[in-house]
Amino acid sequence: MHQKNSWLLPDGIEETLPTEARHLENLRSQLLTTFTNWGYQLVIPPFIDFLDSLLVGSGHDLELQTFKVTDQVSGEMLGIRADMTPQVARIDAHNLKQQCPTRLCYAGTVLHSRGNPLESTRSPMQIGAELYGHSGKESDVEVISLMLEMLAQTGLKNVHLDIGHVGIYRELSAQAGLTAAEEAELFDVLQRKARPELQELMTTYAIDAALKPLFLKLPELNGGEAILAAAMQLFSTANNAVQQALTELIAVAEALKTRFPNLTISFDLAELRGYHYHTGIVFAAFVPAVGKEIARGGRYDNIGASFGRARPATGFSADLKLLSALSKQTFLYPQRQAIFAPCVDDADLNEKIRDLRANHQIVIQQLPGQIGDAQELGCTAVLELQHQHWVIKPLA
């Protein structure tokens, strides 16, 4: 075993030291409590799982990002989760089996085998909430509202929301009669917003000439509210399903404007990047200081079918490590003061220490011959015997 540089960590894999860890733990606890207060119940999906079930309904991207190992017990291929949402959908579909709306939340590490040019980490801590069993706009509005509440609690200002609807593209593709291969090819081109390639595809595909301008204009349909009217006009020749998707998008945007009058909202009807299993409204949140989205989500109605029960589904997730780093710039949880206790074997002292700790005070007991004093250990007070009583004396 070579032990040179055995303290090095793999690229994109971090360890979190006390100050950051305590902040992250406080934020984790605060956000999970908020999710609970909105009726979202905590679940803990497994870290490792059969590869097939991890990748249900998801695209090639997620498969590439998934670490794979052979199970020595079953001989089957296992994967380390790269996304917890499909696991939570399985819990809803297979384990809980409720007919009524089911609200679940979670927080845990996921691993990305290849990393991502936009992300510095390969081990984000995914935190999120999912709402199953309701297909109306109200459930989309609820999860977006909860996502915005999460970001507000993280201390983030000037949050910007991007919103789209993958149904517009998918229904348009269905109307055009694209093969699965063509749909995937076109999806890829639109994800990359590669317009020359898009034009080339439109000349080669044998589709209704009336639909071609609709595909060609899709990448232009991004910006403020004005694009919604443009889209309504453009899609007046498209089928009902396309128009219905657009109507849903407009309705969700209207509801959000009422709830969050100061929120900046942009629309992007060709925004498909990273939405593997999504079927409807999709959204992402941004803040000025960060050059990528800080939370994202959307509707993914068909995923539960693979686990035995199709249910409407919508939800969001974020990287808690990123949120924690951002929130540390805005606010710090109050630093707890520590009290130093001398190394004396005295029953009264032991009782005093026990009482203080039970009352949520930090007490660090001296060890005989230790290096460093109370201050080096970060203590701001000491326990001292005065008139046969142990009292707390602040350090100068």
Residue 34 in the binding site for a second copy (CB under 8 A): yes
Q: Looking at residues 204 to 223 of the shown chain, list those that interact with a second copy (rule: CB under 8 A).
A: none
By CB under 8 A, name the one of 192, 257, 259, 292 that touches a second copy. Answer: 259
Residue with Cβ nearer a second copy (6 or 203): 6
Q: Does 39 bind a second copy (CB under 8 A)?
A: yes
Site for a second copy in 304-363 (CB under 8 A): 306-308, 336, 338, 343, 345, 350, 357, 360-363
Both structure tokens of 241: 């399903």
Cα 314 to Cα 278: distance, rounded to the nearest angstrom: 9
Q: Which of 55, 176, 211, 245 binds a second copy (CB under 8 A)?
A: 55
The interface with a second copy within residues 67-96 (CB under 8 A) comprises 67-69, 71-74, 76, 78, 80, 87, 90-91, 93-96
Contacts of residue 59, Cβ cutoff 8 Å, sequence gap at least 6: 276, 277
Q: Is 117 in the site for a second copy (CB under 8 A)?
A: no
Identify the CA nearest to 87 among candidates 115, 41, 52, 60: 52
Chain-centroid distance of CA 176 in Å reads 34
Of the candidates 54, 53, 50, 76, the residue with the CA atom closest to the CA atom of residue 65: 54
Stretch that binds a second copy, among 167-175, 278-286, 366-374, 384-392 (CB under 8 A): 366-374
Size of residue set near a second copy by CB under 8 A: 105
Residue 128 C-beta: closest distance to a second copy, Å: 14
| Nearer Cβ to a second copy (232/332) | 332
Residue 260 to residue 101: CA distance in whole angstroms: 24
Phi, psi of 337 (to 5 degrees): -80, 145
Q: Are 245 and 167 in contact (CB under 8 A)?
A: yes
Among 30, 61, 101, 241, binds a second copy (CB under 8 A): 101
CA 26/CA 255 separation, integer angstroms: 32
380 touches a second copy by CB under 8 A: no
Burial (CB count within 10 angstroms: exposed 0-12, middle 13-18, buried 19+), residue 335? exposed
Q: How far apart are CA 340 and CA 177, in angstroms?
A: 74
Shortest spacing between CB 323 and a second copy, in angstroms: 15
Query: Segment near a second copy (CB under 8 A), from 27-35, 158-166, 198-206, 225-233?
Result: 27-35
Applying CB under 8 A, among 30, 59, 61, 133 the residue interacting with a second copy is 133
